[in-house]
């Protein structure tokens, strides 16, 4: 059976993403940190890891991208998950009983208007699924949690209200990482990281290798190089697989112009969700 590592407790949104991608029968391995996901795959305790890299509301997850640069695992897939927060509490709790709501600070922020309308006090917790797990283990009067539907099922909590996030397009993008490389597919995407020489026009010349071949860039973002102060690397996604002839030409051109290039992987492009789809 395939084992997939993720960060968080059972019932985390990352585990929902795993089930969405691999199916409900997949075996999952909870990890305390992002670093432990990479270690679990590198040591063979997991076949793959699933790593959140970007959120439509909050932007890129910098720690994830730093680890992709530091490790040699390949990106072999991507997942778009519509993050839907649910209000849950021990069975028998009524909405009018609630006084405090626990969850990860980011989840609380994403439901800030909802909580304010009801006059509930937000109570930061270490993890969304962890807030559900701990509440189920130690029920307290007037306390509810914000977490996934999967967390409610796992820990036996009752969902009192659904889809309570303030914005309907709260979508998180995940990478599937492992030792394997994804095969060539008709609708692929490629992720890489590169640095440029410190001279005028260097970045423009690198990007021109894609533009003049008609390759569409879907992401371009700079990050500080952790081992070299005031120097930067660029994370780039483009449509196509590195084995496509035109993509190979662009990559050879990039190699001739960049200070260094690291190919993170080519993978089947996931279907991006729109605000209308997430609200339906």
User: For the segment 27-69, what is each residue's pLDDT rounded down to a tens digit?
Assistant: 999 999 999 999 999 999 999 999 999 988 888 999 999 999 9
Which segments of the chain have a pLDDT < 50?
275-276, 278-280
pLDDT at 169: 86
Question: Taking the CA of residue 1 as centre, how many other CA atoms within 13 Å lie in the half-sphere pointing to its CB?
Answer: 9
- Which one is catalytic: 6, 22, 48, 174? 174
- Mean residue pLDDT of the chain comes to 94
pLDDT at 277: 52
- Which one is catalytic: 28, 93, 128, 172? 172
Whether 172 sits among the annotated catalytic residues: the reply is yes
pLDDT at 30: 97
Does this model's pTM top 0.85? My answer is yes
Cβ atoms < 10 Å from Cβ of 245: 9
**Cα separation of 122 and 80, whole Å?**
27
**Cα separation of 88 and 148, whole Å?**
9
Sorted by where each starts, the structural domains of the chain and their CATH numbers stand as 3-81+170-179 (3.40.190.10), 86-161 (3.40.190.10), 188-268 (3.30.70.260)
pLDDT at 214: 97
| Residue (of 46, 30, 276) closest to 171 by Cα position | 276
DSSP assignment, residue 183?
P
Whether 128 sits among the annotated catalytic residues: the reply is no
């Amino acid at each position: 059976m395939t084992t997939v590592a993720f960060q968080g407790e059972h019932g985390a949104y990352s585990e929902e993403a795993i089930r969405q991608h691999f199916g409900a029968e997949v075996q999952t391995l909870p990890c305390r940190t992002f670093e432990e996901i990479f270690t679990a795959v590198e040591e063979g305790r997991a076949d793959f890891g699933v790593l959140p890299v970007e959120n439509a509301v909050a932007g890129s997850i910098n720690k994830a991208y730093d680890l992709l640069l530091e490790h040699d695992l390949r990106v072999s897939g991507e997942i778009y998950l519509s993050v839907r927060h649910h209000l849950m509490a021990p069975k028998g709790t009524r909405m009018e009983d609630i006084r405090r709501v626990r969850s990860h600070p980011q989840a609380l922020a994403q439901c800030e208007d909802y909580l304010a309308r009801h006059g509930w006090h937000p109570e930061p917790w270490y993890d969304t699924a962890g807030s559900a797990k701990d509440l189920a283990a130690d029920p307290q009067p007037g306390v509810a949690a914000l977490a996934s539907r999967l967390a409610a099922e796992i820990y036996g909590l009752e969902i009192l209200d659904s889809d309570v996030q303030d914005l309907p397009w709260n979508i998180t993008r995940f990478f599937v990482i492992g030792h394997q490389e994804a095969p060539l597919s008709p609708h692929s995407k490629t992720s890489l990281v590169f640095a440029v020489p410190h001279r005028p026009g260097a970045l423009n010349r690198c990007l021109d290798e894609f533009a003049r071949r008609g390759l569409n860039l879907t992401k371009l973002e700079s990050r500080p190089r952790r081992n070299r102060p005031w120097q930067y690397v660029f994370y780039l996604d483009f449509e196509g697989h590195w084995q496509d002839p035109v993509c190979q030409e662009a990559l050879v051109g990039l190699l001739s112009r960049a200070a260094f290039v690291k190919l993170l992987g080519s993978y089947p492009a996931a279907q991006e969700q729109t605000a209308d789809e997430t609200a339906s």
